[in-house]
Amino acid sequence: MSVLLVVAGGALAGPTGMKMALAFAVIINGISYFFSDKIALKSSGAQPVTREQLPRLYAVMERLAAKANLPVPKLYVIPEEAPNAFATGRNPQHASVAVTQGLLQLMNDDELEGVIAHELSHVRNYDILTTSVAATLAGAITYLAHMAQWGMLFGGYGGDRDDDREGGAFAAIAMMILAPFAALLLQLFLSRTREYSADATGARMVGQPYGLISALQKLGAYNQRIPTTALAPATAALCIVKPMFGGGGLSSLFSTHPPLEDRIAALRQMTIVPQR
């Protein structure tokens, strides 16, 4: 993603653009590493909760964290009717898990355990850092393309007799179109691949896939009917299911999550050896 950002800067403004884009990439990566969790939680309106407030959630989290040999993440609740959950943070020692009020109301104990195991799998596999940095850099690439668009409108690449400059203008136009699209595809690839892995790891953590299967079925049904109001679009790729995700066709192709039917089918085909 950083290389793509630097290439975009070079195509838009030559060597100077490459240097500026490289500096921009370093800054964005630093912000993503240290502050992506705070940004995600703040943008979703998540509120910290104590064990006294939600003993059921803490009991599930502490049991699974001990099973996975992980520190217990900080727990947050989002004032949102649509059921969903996400994990964020730069490593297991600085991880947070947020769930919506709708999820707590909808899930039975087995389903809640499946959802929490899925989110803990993201923590253990460092997916939370990877997807956060990818999302931030994808946004930076898109922002750079928009800035270049405005620069061209106000004379950055006006008509000129110089063939080299004309070629640079064409390269800049191509990069403005292709760079954001390439960044989106990279982000979607990372997110989709990680969801399958987290499903499988979460099912093994619990010892059976059926709670997570039932949870995914409920999440899919309810997120098609209940509009999401609290979750920000930037956190959509972090959620266990995409808020208000579409059906098949192009909406499925460019979704941040693989189709739920495929995820459930993969879970049904798992063979889990009971732990002794």
Beta carbons of 214 and 264 less than 8 angstroms apart: no
Written as one letter, the residue type at 146 is H
Q: Distance of CA 210 to CAs 13, 114, 123, 220, Å?
A: 53, 8, 21, 15
- Kindly calculate the radius of gyration of the chain based on its CA atoms and give it in whole angstroms: 21
The DSSP annotation for 75-130 comes to: EEEE--SS--EEEE-SSGGG-EEEEEHHHHHH--HHHHHHHHHHHHHHHHTTHHHH
Closest CA to 8 of 156, 158, 155, 180: 180
Where do we find the tokens 């930076």? 140
The DSSP annotation for 14-69 comes to: HHHHHHHHHHHHHHHHHHHHHHHHHHHHHHHT-EE--TTT-HHHHHHHHHHHHHTT
Q: Of 52, 119, 166, 261, which residue is the catalytic one? A: 119
The DSSP output letter for 159 is -
Closest CA to 84 of 116, 55, 57: 116
Active site residue 111: no
Residues involved in catalysis: 119
